[in-house]
Structure 1
């Protein structure tokens, strides 16, 4: 049965995330608590991302830059306006 316009089987064919990337999703989830909230959610601050990288032992400048770029890209996707089908 479909309720609220959401098909419960819609995720049946979604690919499973690579287990190697679990730490990235954990980092993003934890860093999301650092975003400012007002009329809308704000971006995750660069300072929070670099502090998290340091707490994880990421010290190489290139690796820190890659981590920052990855989290910023994920954050950008997270903050994109959502397409609500059947809405106003």
Structure 2
């Protein structure tokens, strides 16, 4: 391989790498915008949840229970059912 062929090969690699870098920058831009939209939606949902919970408390409605493992819920229901049968 002579110097001219080497330089041509290097230029081709440079052009390909430059194009790939541009594609990656475009993807980063798209993902950054999508992330910003998603984070804004999360913030809106958190605000909505707080407003609704605050309004419910003002009306005397207790806040919703946090999710619990199914096994805990089933155990509680079984225990409650057994107590009711004992009456």
Q: Normalising by structure 1, what TM-score? A: 0.28
Larger Rg: 2
